[in-house]
């Protein structure tokens, strides 16, 4: 099983899947095709879910995890970095972005309010 899938072109693998799909279609009704397609999707989703959880376990064992959304990261440190003081990084990147985002939203709201007032005046004049 370690040599599957084979090391062939992704385009050839896709073409193979298309050919197999067309081979399955001829003898089945639309409902049967949907059922079979969903069955294959379920197999794929199960494999992807198992693989992802396996990757999480492997990363935890190897220690390759840096969660930039964690409280530890945002409050000034990560055990995976040599410089534990990253509070400045968070302040400079995230807070500035948030401040400029709020200013941008405020500008949009102001423009919307102006447009609403203009439309009200136009309605009153009619």
Question: What is the reported pLDDT for 109?
Answer: 86
pLDDT reported for residue 60: 74
pTM: predicted TM-score of the whole model, two decimal places: 0.46
Q: Domains of the chain: which residue ranges?
A: 1-65, 67-126
Per-residue confidence (pLDDT) for residue 32, from 0 to 100: 92
Tell me what pLDDT residue 74 has.
63
Give the pLDDT score at 44.
93
Q: At a CB cut-off of 8 Å and minimum separation 6, what does 24 contact? A: 33, 36
For residue 111, give both structure tokens.
Answer: 């423009």
pLDDT along the chain (126 residues), means of 10: 73 88 87 93 94 85 69 60 51 59 79 89 86
Non-local (6+) Cβ contacts of 76 within 8 A are 84, 85, 86, 87, 90
């Amino acid at each position: 099983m370690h040599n599957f899938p084979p090391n062939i072109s992704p385009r050839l693998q896709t073409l193979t899947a298309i050919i197999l799909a067309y081979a399955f279609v001829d003898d089945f009704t639309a409902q049967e095709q949907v059922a079979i397609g969903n069955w294959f999707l379920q197999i794929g989703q199960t494999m992807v879910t198992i693989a992802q959880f396996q990757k999480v376990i492997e990363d935890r064992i190897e220690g390759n995890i840096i969660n930039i959304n964690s409280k530890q990261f945002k409050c000034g440190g990560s055990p995976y970095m040599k410089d534990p003081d990253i509070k400045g990084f968070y302040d400079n990147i995230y807070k500035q972005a948030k401040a400029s985002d709020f200013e941008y939203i405020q500008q949009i709201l102001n423009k919307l309010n102006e447009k609403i007032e203009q439309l009200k005046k136009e309605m009153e004049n009619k």
